[in-house]
Amino acid sequence: MCGIVGYVGQENALDFLLNSLKVLEYRGYDSSGVAISSTDHKINVVKAKGKLNNLINLTNGLNIQGNVGIGHTRWATQGVPSDINAHPHSNSNCSVAIVHNGIISNYIDLKEELVSKHNIEFTSETDSEVVAHLIGVYIEEGLSTKEALIESTKKIKGSYALSVISKEDPGKILLTCNDAPLVVGVGKNKDLYCASDSAALLKYTNQIIRLKDHQIAELSGNGEFTIMDSHNGDFISPEVQTMNFDPFHLDKGEYKHFLMKEIHEQPSIIRNLLGIHLDQDLNINFEGLDEAVFNDINRIIIIGCGTAYYAGLIGKYLLESFSRIPCEIEFASELLARPILADERTLVVAISQSGETADTLMAVKSALSKGARLLTITNRPESTLAALAQNTTILIRAGIEVSVAATKSFTAQVVCMYLLSLHLAAKVKELNPEELKWLKSSLRAIPLIMEQVLSRAEEYREKILPFANKTSFIFLGRGINYPVAMEGALKLKELTYVQATGYASGEMKHGPIATIDENVPTVSILLPGPTYHKALHNLIEAKTRGAPSIAIVADGDKEATREANVVFSVPELPRADEFPHLQDALSPFVSVVPLQLIAYYLAEYLGKDVDQPRNLAKSVTVE
């Protein structure tokens, strides 16, 4: 949510700032801005409401030169999206400019103090502006920019990643953070960078240093930098990490949208994940994972938000079915709404693509304070979440996910949940060896089957477009496909802004059926397995009330095909004749793809902003 970038070096800062903001635009896209310390030691601030292109067009007409600069792309929290509320914010004489991610929770008190004691006039409605004025006041009192930043952080409360430039120290950028990510990038030719998301730096360097809470970094134009603990004044020798992401992920390639590219990447991501964790003899191997995290656990709590939560809900089904360990799942934000019941025998499994979702991080910290063990599933090894679980993180290895709507991260998270639950099942000996073998070898077949599903994309497009005028949909699934129904509804909501509800099929008759008429299509997942006939019955109940019925069925299906108005067929999964209770165990991988495509095609047809839907941001770093 919001993105920060900064550059100090020998080149013109503006080029880097605009290029890297383009990469971070998925973090927030309601306004953006840059502040550049020019060669004549002025600070030039340019800001624009709306997409980054507005800022690019504005800067095109200006000749802004300077080797030091900071930039920001915003997702509004305090103050409407506008030119004035966009970052960077500066103090009254523009001798200081800052960009901020997070929320300054005591900004009203600080604002009152700055107005009454220093006669400061505020221009924006944001919480962030207080930081620029505070730093400015301390510099006027004779402090250096670094000292002023340290003094300011003693006064501000809340979460922040801050990047600061000032006329007082024209060749420098100062950085600090608390409960919000910020990295330093070390480039070639003495170039130094900063970013709130390391993806912004991929084209420039893969050497990053993650700042820890209360550290102050001072980056200088000669390529030198220091990192200091602001609490005790100690200098820190930096831990440089190498990022392994491929810049290819930042390119749409042959696709019109990142979303479509990411949907099509799913088979290869799964193939790669299985290649790493499931060997030829079908042994599961989590190299580097500290197995002690599983010792003596008697309960599992899965935590996530949005799509990660739905991947976790599939995980709950798997963990309970395969290992019989009691497993709960919680929206991270809800877990914080009551005292969390966890102890040293509780394993918390936190799932987050970004590893920076504020709700998830707070819930994890709360569980850790009760003594719980932690295992994390994330796409970002350099994230705050991964840092909380250094030897107990499973990486989903999906590559950077640019589109705001999660697709490939979902299926990669689901693969990790399968591997984890099968790993635990083998430990507690709940599944018999034949069942385990069938599940693991069937998992191996998934990438190819998904490719076959994707090859039907055009056919799905033709079938869904006649529904483009509908303004309400209900997605239905039972058992392991109930979370998939909710994920399908979430995708449709996010991408088309149309009302869509995901329900457990069996719950329809307990209330939601009242909303059904000929204008509310149902999308039912009806793949072979123990719940098939009950779910089919639920489809018929809805159809009887006039709902146009769409069904996701397997090739060769007869019954649902006869009942539904439109069917989206997918290839059959490996048959589990000896283990009928496992027949639908792997079905989420094939049922979710048509739902992702349905949402994509309707959004594209309706002219929506597929990769950056309104009001959303990729990583939600506020609670």
Describe the crossing of helices 408-428 and 433-454 by its angle, rounded to 10 degrees. 170
Q: Which residues contribute to the site for ligand M6R (CB under 6 A)?
A: 305-308, 352-354, 357, 360, 404-406, 490, 494, 616, 619-620
What amino acid is encoded at 611 in this protein? D
The CA distance from 414 to 383, in Å, is 20
Question: Closest approach of Cβ 533 to ligand M6R, in Å?
Answer: 31
Q: Which is nearer to ligand M6R, 197 or 494 (CB)?
A: 494
Question: Closest approach of Cβ 405 to ligand M6R, in Å?
Answer: 4
Question: Closest approach of Cβ 91 to ligand M6R, in Å?
Answer: 34
Q: Which of these, 440, 408, 517, 529, lies nearest to 472 by C-alpha position?
A: 517
Question: Closest approach of Cβ 339 to ligand M6R, in Å?
Answer: 23
The CA distance from 604 to 277, in Å, is 36
The CA distance from 456 to 570, in Å, is 8
E-state strands within 267-342: 299-304, 327-331
> Which distant-in-sequence residues (6+ apart) come within 8 Å of 15 by Cβ?
none
Question: Any idea which residues carry the catalytic annotation?
Answer: 2, 618
Residue in the shown chain whose Cβ atom is closest to ligand M6R:
306
Question: Closest approach of Cβ 417 to ligand M6R, in Å?
Answer: 13
The CA distance from 321 to 337, in Å, is 28
Describe the crossing of helices 129-140 and 107-118 by its angle, rounded to 10 degrees. 40
Cα Rg of the chain, angstroms: 26
Query: Cα angle vertex 415, ends 199, 307, to 5°?
Result: 60
The CA distance from 206 to 245, in Å, is 8
Question: Closest approach of Cβ 407 to ligand M6R, in Å?
Answer: 8
Question: Closest approach of Cβ 623 to ligand M6R, in Å?
Answer: 12
CA torsion sign for 222, 223, 229, 230 is: positive
Which residue's entry shows tokens 């991270």? 332
How many CA atoms lie less than 13 Å away from 305 in the CB half-sphere?
Answer: 25
Cα–Cα separations (whole angstroms), residue 373 to 19, 152, 304: 40, 36, 16
Q: Which is nearer to ligand M6R, 356 or 557 (CB)?
A: 356
Which residue's entry shows tokens 């820890």? 212
The CA distance from 57 to 65, in Å, is 16
Question: Closest approach of Cβ 66 to ligand M6R, in Å?
Answer: 34
The CA distance from 48 to 59, in Å, is 10
Helix (H, G, I), strand (E, B) or coil at 159: strand
* Number of other CB atoms surrounding residue 544 within 10 Å: 11
Q: Which is nearer to ligand M6R, 267 or 306 (CB)?
A: 306
| Pairing assessment for the beta strands 346-352 and 299-304 based on DSSP bridges | parallel
What amino acid is encoded at 474 in this protein? I
Q: Which is nearer to ligand M6R, 218 or 359 (CB)?
A: 359
